[in-house]
Chains A and B, each alone.
Chain A
């Protein structure tokens, strides 16, 4: 009963000074907003990683050219060749499904439309590995690889870039890639982005065609992808790829590899490092502004105690105990902080929304994070409100009554 009365008195004091109260809580607001945004970003990034790993395929290893070292001196990037890809496919005893990737960003034109598009030279296995589905038409086949045929499968968004032509009407049409004529044989279903990969905006042609007809005859792959049947086979596949690549590159035992083997999760972790750096920065801001905010609360509470010295004297003369006075001021500090926390949660939620909308970072505000933030701001209120409250409680009623 008494406690409830004291809470109401404390709240009335906050209400009596709305502007000052809101300004006082600003530090807490910023701190909590930063915490919420940070957690939302972290949570969002985590979800994104999981989604992307699923979308990229959980059982795909990527072989990339590495640095070629000779006596501690870099001799530039090593190269991956089609031979390497063939070796991986033929020597792994059926463990691996393999596709090379030789890609370049090139001008693609159809009638009077043109677009700058990523052209991917791959094997038919690539579609199987990444679980691509066709909207219309067909894949290219082994015969077309061997024949270096000029056929192309378009990503889902490409027909839109080419004059919003309906996909069905594009089948059998001729488009130009870097001025070379290609026949459209298929259009893919929508796939969505996966990290740096945007398959919906790409076009796919046979790797041999890419190498000999489009990209100037150089046998230089960007990557080789190797998939296993199940994720459990990845470790085995890793060792197998290492063995085959070393033999193919004629590396001696103990010599450093001139290629990298990565799995999807590793690559995504690198990709998401920026997000984490940003989250860390926000954590710093949150920490500092909660501290500054707490000191602000303490400061204004001390001012409040001084301003209301006489009121404290009256209350004590009328029978308020130390505990009653202390509770009153502690509740006031607590109330200010929780108010700041609530505004901060709303602001953080808004900031996360803005980041999703404009920076296209995935965010997710977890209810536990909100509860933690409110709890934390209450903690700040208790910690920084304690000293002013104790000062108020310790005032001598005679001095307080005489205070001008």
Chain B
């Protein structure tokens, strides 16, 4: 095992808004190893969204270095970043971000299309992931015909279909009621048990409790970084 999925060194992001420079992230050093389950917490304005965008290769740092799965990605071009996102990262968004006119199966196929996988192989792998999240009987349904929990599970299947090094979830339960939230988080727990590295960005403490480690950001720097006590799971 190479020993690291995410390593950042002095990760910094500045925005210029008119005459003002916003220093959203001010030098973050983080190491996340394979199989870890990390919650990134912090109030709004703490820089956690900016940090997540950089971790997700949607944005590039102003300063500092970022290695994802052993590759230095902080220096890559737009199109190279697109390829890294495609192969290494699976996204789960708060608002699901599914294509409303496409079936669940097609939504899950999307990353494989951009990876250049053939049609038959694509369908097989997409169906496999939909079965994994318990939606084998909903493959031909479109997102508007599904419940919020089901939609988020489609999004999880889509995030997993490329076998990414990192599953990156941004407020994954923000749009769900507490029952479906639990379902989705249980899914995450199972995935992590199977070895999937997961980073969840959230501001809800009970979501963060599911993770094994919490990183708290405040004013663009790490305020606290600690391991959760193992949760007693009732049988």
Using a CB–CB cutoff of 8 Å, the interface residues on chain A facing chain B are 1-2, 5, 12, 16, 310-311, 313-324, 397-398, 401
Contacts and interface: CB of A to CB of B under 8 A. Distances in A.
Interface string B120-151: 00000000000000000000000000000000
B186 interface: no
A398 B59 contact: yes
Interface in B69-124: 78-79, 82-83, 85-87, 91, 93, 97-99, 101, 110-111, 113-116, 118
B99 A311 contact: yes
A319 B59 contact: no
B58 A397 contact: yes
A318 B212 CA distance: 27
B113 A2 contact: yes
23 contacts: A1-B118, A5-B113, A12-B101, A313-B97, A314-B97, A314-B110, A315-B114, A317-B58, A317-B97, A318-B85, A318-B86, A318-B110, A318-B114, A319-B85, A319-B111, A319-B114, A319-B162, A321-B79, A321-B83, A323-B79, A397-B58, A398-B58, A401-B93
Contacts of B187: none
B58 A324 contact: no
A343 B78 CA distance: 40
B118 A320 contact: no
A396 to B, nearest CB: 8
A315 B58 contact: no
B99 to A, nearest CB: 6
Contacts of B114: 2, 315, 318-321, 324
B53 interface: yes
A19 to B, nearest CB: 16
Contacts, number: 59
Interface residues of B, number: 26
A342 B114 CA distance: 31
Contacts of B86: 318-319
A318 B58 contact: no
B199 to A, nearest CB: 15
A318 B79 contact: no
Contacts of B91: 317-318
A316 B82 contact: yes
A276 B226 CA distance: 86
B158 interface: yes
A1 B113 CA distance: 9
Contact of A315 (B79, B110, B115, B118): B110
A3 to B, nearest CB: 10
A320 B81 CA distance: 10
A34 B83 CA distance: 46
Contacts of A318: 85-86, 91, 110-111, 114, 158
Which of A5, A16, A318 has the largest number of chain B CB atoms within 10 A?
A: A318
A151 B32 CA distance: 116
A71 B7 CA distance: 104
A311 B106 CA distance: 14
B116 A320 contact: no
A91 to B, nearest CB: 87
Contacts of A311: 99
B101 A321 contact: no
A322 B79 contact: yes
Contacts of A315: 110, 114
A398 B53 contact: yes
Nearest to A394: B78
